[in-house]
Chain A
Amino acid sequence: MKTFSVSKAFTALVLAGLVLLPLYSSLSGNIFILTLFTRIVILALAAASLNLIMGYGGMMSFGHAAYLGVGGYAVGILAQEGVGSGFIQFPVALAASAIYALVIGALSLRTRGVYFIMITLAFAQMAYYVASGLARYGGDDGLTVYKRSDFSGLINLSNRTQFYYLCLACLFGVVLLIWRIGNSRFGLVVQGLRSNEQRMQAIGFPAKRYQLVCFVISGTMCGLAGALLANNTDFVSPAVMYWTRSGDLMVMVILGGMGTLFGPVMGAVVFLVLEELLSQITEYWALIMGPLLLLIVLFGRGGIMGLLGRFDRG
């Protein structure tokens, strides 16, 4: 096994950058960059969770942003109803996302391919319209979270640096978990199903059961991202579940490299930083962003991680 490689070095560099960012922010007095990167870290977590079903499991879910909403609304609604404790809010957010994933997964996994994409999209849009109809919780206008989740002195989410590190710890935790899952018995079965479902059935694996469990794990992880996102913006609205947001997550995963451990993190960082920089130059930033993404995907098969991998092979 090779000890040094360009992709590993680059990944380490980005991760180190993420860890040291608050230091830079406080030294330079640039608060904005910390705010931006808190958002990036949270969406990287969502992209990593999507990668678990999309990259490892071969399940192209086009409705992953729905979990951002489920997790976010769990926090928002509880806060509105006077339950401010994070020790209740976060478990509820995770459980709600898991249950939502279980129901959606059980129904969606009856289909394959394009139909699976369409049905996950349809369910997410349903969630979007349900949230829009929640008159008590702001409806279309969304719901303001007046107080961030309270972890009774353990950690203060209103402190920018503490909150950033909480998000980063969650991201690292999830990536670590996905790494372990990827090499586990369960992970090999799920990846085998992506590769050849008929073969896996023939050697004795009930496909759907494994795919459903994978779907639920992924949804729960994304629910965590949703709960963090609601705290980050102090606000949750149906817009977080809109299908373009699901598309953004998919782009992050594909851009970074599907089925690679750190690909979604890279994808999220590059995608959102580009979005930020380009939108400062021109309001037509999407005109530049689109072709740029196309180029990376076309010429770097396997996304950014694939591109970096080329250096290693020389």
Chain B
Amino acid sequence: MAEPLLRVEKLVRRFGGITATDHVSLDVAAGELHAIIGPNGAGKTTLISQLTGHLSPHAGSVSLGGLDITYLPAYRRCALGLARSFQITSLLLDFTAADNVALAAQAHAGTSFRFFANARKETGLRDAARAALDRVGLLHRADVEVSKISHGERRELELAVALASKPKILLLDEPMAGLGVTESQRMVKLLQELRKEVSIVLVEHDMEAVFALADRISVLVYGRVIASGDPAAIRQNDEVKRAYLGDQHVVTRHG
């Protein structure tokens, strides 16, 4: 089997007495959409933060395309093709949507130690920004300040920003968080399109979305991966039903 794009091996992260990530191993093949699910407090965001470099693990390793990135800072990982979206929308609120995306493109297009030329007039960056905005259906909002656009649009903008860095792999931390039903459906549709182009690690609470999108699902409970497999296998897994959903629930819609 070919080397997976992203490989996580025996990752451990503790907070005081709590082991938030407990020997987690998983891999993501090129072109795969790998979903990570788990109840609140299972350590999903902690795991993602270690993948993106916002948090250092105490043990274990993360490699991207065979390269050990365990202790690289976030900006270096991004340069290597790893992009993320945030669970709680994190954008430049006082910049326009286009500026947000163009900055992501700028980070991957030569040096930013240029002091004189007007960066907003660089057609390469502006075109890349418009293309990414168009991709998520936000082109008509390009010149609107982010603080003035809706929550749903900001979630889409998060995605456009991540795309503009031309990533090999996208880490999406609950892209549907706080979205309404129609907005969620739009997002699922969008992800279905995107997954054809880029590998995705998806952390999500929306079970309907996860089962519709994922090639593989890993279930995280108390920091450990208790099951990993295709959606059908996970749906059948008794341990998952018990641990994640409680005995009384069936795997349908959550929240």
Contact = CB atoms under 8 A, between A and B. Distances in A.
Contacts of A185: 106, 111-114, 117, 119, 122
A206 B93 contact: no
A205 B107 contact: yes
Interface string B93-117: 1110001000110111001111111
Nearest to A186: B115
A196 interface: yes
Contacts of A198: 54, 86, 90
A185 to B, nearest CB: 4
A269 interface: no
Which secondary structure dominates where chain B touches chain A?
loop
A95 interface: no
B52 A202 contact: yes
Interface residues of A, number: 25
B80 to A, nearest CB: 9
Interface stretch (A144-152, A160-168, A176-184): A176-184
A207 B93 CA distance: 18
Contacts of B79: 204
Interface of B: 52, 54, 73-75, 78-79, 83-84, 86, 90-95, 99, 103-104, 106-108, 111-120, 122, 161, 164-165
A195 B90 CA distance: 10
B117 A204 contact: no
B119 A192 contact: no
A199 B107 contact: no
B104 A204 contact: yes
B93 A205 contact: no
Nearest to B125: A185
B83 A203 contact: yes
B161 A203 contact: yes
B90 A203 contact: no
A184 B114 CA distance: 6
Contact of A181 (B99, B115, B120, B164): B115
A204 B75 contact: yes
B118 A183 contact: yes
A207 B107 CA distance: 12
Contact of A196 (B52, B54, B90): B90
8 contacts: A180-B115, A184-B116, A186-B114, A196-B91, A201-B74, A203-B164, A206-B75, A210-B112
B91 A203 contact: no
Contact of A180 (B52, B94, B116): B116
A195 B115 contact: no
B116 A203 contact: no
B164 to A, nearest CB: 8
Contacts of A189: 103, 106, 112
